[in-house]
Structures are given as C-alpha cells and as structure tokens.
Amino acid sequence: MIRKFLFLLLLLVLETSVAAAQDAVTLTYLVDDTQNSQDTAQALADAYMAEHPNVTITIETRPGGTEGDNIVKTRLATGDMTDIFFYNSGSLLQALNPAQTLVDLSDQPFIENIVESFLPTVSQDGQIFGVPTGTAMGGGILYNRNIYEELGLSVPLTWAEFEANNAAILEAGIPPVLATFGDTWTSQLFVLADYYNVEQAVPGFADAYTANEAKYATTPAALAGFTYLQEGYEQGWWQPDYATTRFEQGLALLANGEVAHYPMLTFALSTIAANFPDQVNDIGFFAQPGTDAEANGATIWMPAATYIPQTTQGAKLEVALDFLGFIASVEGVDAITAAVAPNGPYLIVGSTLPDTVLPAVQDLAAYIDSGNSYPALEFLSPIKGPNLEQICVAVGTGQMSAEEAAASYDLDVERQAQQLGLPGWD
C-alpha cells in the first residue's frame, strides 16, 4: 500500500517535472562580438534547441577587450546579467568575484567530462564556475607559408633567427610583422605569448609575481616581450598604417600575403577560414621564439567558458545547467566543430579533432603533443593589469621604451592586485 502510494507520488513528481521541462524557456546568452565566439555560441544554441524544442536560446553580443570586461563586471555587480554568458577563464574571471556572483557547478555530473587541467582556471575558493566553450588556443606567430616558401625561409627557433627572417622579408619589400593597434587588445601578444620562454628562464615566475616578489621591470626574461615591441617599431617591421589598422583588416593582409607574420592567438584562424577559405591553408603557426633553440615551445590559452550568474533561477537555472552539460559533452563539441574550424584541442574528455584540421592547428598540436607547451600567465595568476594593451601600443608606436613600459605595467599590476585585495600588496 505504502509502496503503491510512493510509486504514485513518484509518478506525480515525474509528471510535473516533465511538464515543467516542457514549458517554454528562453535563455539569453551573452558572448563577445568576435566572429569566432558568435559562431560557436550560435552552433551550440542551434544544436541544443534542435533537441529541446521548448527552449529558445538567443545570443546577445558585447564588445571585447577592456570595454567588454567592464560591461560584464557591471552587469554582474548590478544583478543584470543575461541567463548564461561566455567569458574568459583565468585572471579575468577572478576579477569578476565569481564566488559571490556565479553559480557553483562542482556538484554537477558533467564536471567529470572536463579535462582536469582546465578546472583551476574557472575555480575560486574550491568552487567551479564554468565549462570550457570552444578550443584551447596557442598564442604565438601566425605566418604566411607562401612567403616563407618563396624566400626559402624556415621556422625560427630563436629570436635571432626570427630577426634574420624579418630582415630577409623586409628586403623582399614585404612588411614582416602585422600590427593592428586600431584594436588595442591585439598589441599584447609579443608580451603575453612570451610566457613559455619566461617560464623556461625563471621557473615559477607566476607564483613569485602573484606574491609581489617578481617584477616585469627587474626580470630580464619578462622584460623581453616589451623589448620585442620596441624592436619591431625601431626596425620598421610593421606594415603601413599600423597605428589605426583594425583586427579584421589585418587578417585580410595576412591571408593575402601582404604581411608575413602576425603575433596572435590561433582563434583568429576560424575568422580567416570564414572570410578567406581559399587562403587559410597558407597560414601556419609557430611558437614565439626565445633565446634557446633547445627550449622552444608554445604558450597556451585555455578556452573561454560559459557561466551562470546567481541571478538565474528556477526553470531557467535548470535549463541553463542542462545546456552547460551539453556544452561539456562530445555532442556539444561536435556541434561546434561542424560550424567553426577548430583552433586547437578541445578540453572535453573523449572529444577528437576532425582529420582535416587547418595546417596552423596541426602546427600547434605538434607543440602540445611533444610536451612543449605551457599556459599563459593569466591562467596561472589572478592578476592581469588592465592597461597592458595601451602600454603595448605606446611601445609599439615608439612613445615608450621597453623599460618604461615594464615599470609602468608593474604599477598597473600593483593597482589591480590591491583592488582585488590580494595578500602581500599593501
């Protein structure tokens, strides 16, 4: 009798929860306005909606860079965030104060599907907040392979070889390095993508830096990134109009072989693949070279993640969690791959890259497979100074020396650490 009653109760509960799930739910998904992020989010939303006809996921876009950080920060702080949102992992996430603003996912079953090394970049105080959305990326040099072939150049393993290549390219009348300071965030790559080399020279730099014990200005290996920007300006490596060229204009120049190198993240590849499908196979990737050819390797960016703010509740929260589970599944990965050319490996257990990945992605995979890769500093330390992009532009346009820039960035980092209330900075 009691059994029967319980069974009926269970049925009833199931019935109502199924009914609840059948109610129409609309989720708004905030993503940045790069083509890559928009396409990724759209592909996930479309695939999910196809299976769940009662759910509608609409994409809302925001600008990238510091501007976008500010939008995300204020919308979270004022309780006005969309139901789910896409945002960087690592130090930028830390600045959002996630333990107070985001839904903890550590109890969710889908966390098991995520490659473990990713989890620290979306965690705070032992809680986990995001699922990786898209692929990991390499930060380094994208280059036009046709130019390398024509001039008989080979991939440089040291900075000196890179300089020699640039000299040869310049002699051939082609600007060796693309600078797109019109979108200021693109200026930081020489500094950020040099982290593999910094780690080789100063093992454990990230921890010392977080503890206020290591500085850019006083660590020669860390200063090097700024020096490269200064050198680029002084040697005339940049193309004409570099101060105002925008990111997408720059990609066209690279794809068409009007410049040879672009210090960039590999996520740019999918935009090139979308806009220049015939030329994307001419683009290769190599790690930003350092001083030692033996210790050559790539700096890796963790994928951005999708998060749920604490303001999402009730049926919306249920659907949002289910959608995050979908993102963290092989199915979700396949949905992305079908729409966006992968820029690197996925961090979902059991997922595979298609056989026909872009050549530049194969280049990147070679570094990872051979164990010659290391995460970028922003995934190892919670501190990233917000003014780095302007400082890099100032160096790249000859207004500041590398030393001044490093000192100025140290000051910026100090402010950020104090603002975050980290120990050891007051």
Question: Which residues in this chain contact other proteins in the complex, by CB under 8 A?
Answer: 30, 33, 58, 60-64, 66-67, 69-71, 73-75, 77-78, 80, 82, 95, 181, 183-184, 240-244, 246-249, 386-387, 390-391, 393-400, 404, 408, 411, 415-416, 418-419
* Cβ nearer to other proteins, comparing 117 with 244: 244
* Cβ nearer to other proteins, comparing 158 with 387: 387
61 — phi, psi (to 5°)? Answer: -110, 155
Q: Tell me how far apart the alpha carbons of residues 164 and 100 are, in angstroms, rounded to a whole number.
A: 51
Contact assessment for residue 238 and residue 396, using Cβ atoms and an 8 Å cutoff = yes
Smallest distance from other proteins to CB 412, Å: 8
* Cβ nearer to other proteins, comparing 199 with 412: 412
Smallest distance from other proteins to CB 95, Å: 7
* Cβ nearer to other proteins, comparing 275 with 372: 275
Using alpha carbons, select from 94, 57, 52 the residue that is nearest to residue 76: 94
Q: Tell me how far apart the alpha carbons of residues 176 and 143 are, in angstroms, rounded to a whole number.
A: 9
Smallest distance from other proteins to CB 384, Å: 11
Using alpha carbons, select from 182, 184, 175 the residue that is nearest to residue 232: 175
For residue 197 the two structure tokens come to 């080399």
**What are the DSSP calls for 334-400, one per residue?**
HHHHHHS---S-B-BTT----TT--HHHHHHHHHHHTT-EEE-GGGT-S---TTHHHHHHHHHTTSS
* Cβ nearer to other proteins, comparing 192 with 391: 391
* Cβ nearer to other proteins, comparing 66 with 158: 66
Q: Tell me how far apart the alpha carbons of residues 184 and 223 are, in angstroms, rounded to a whole number.
A: 20
Smallest distance from other proteins to CB 61, Å: 7
Smallest distance from other proteins to CB 394, Å: 3
Q: Tell me how far apart the alpha carbons of residues 44 and 295 are, in angstroms, rounded to a whole number.
A: 38
User: Hey, which residues does 309 pair with through a beta bridge?
Assistant: 102
* Cβ nearer to other proteins, comparing 56 with 158: 56
Smallest distance from other proteins to CB 390, Å: 6
Smallest distance from other proteins to CB 406, Å: 14
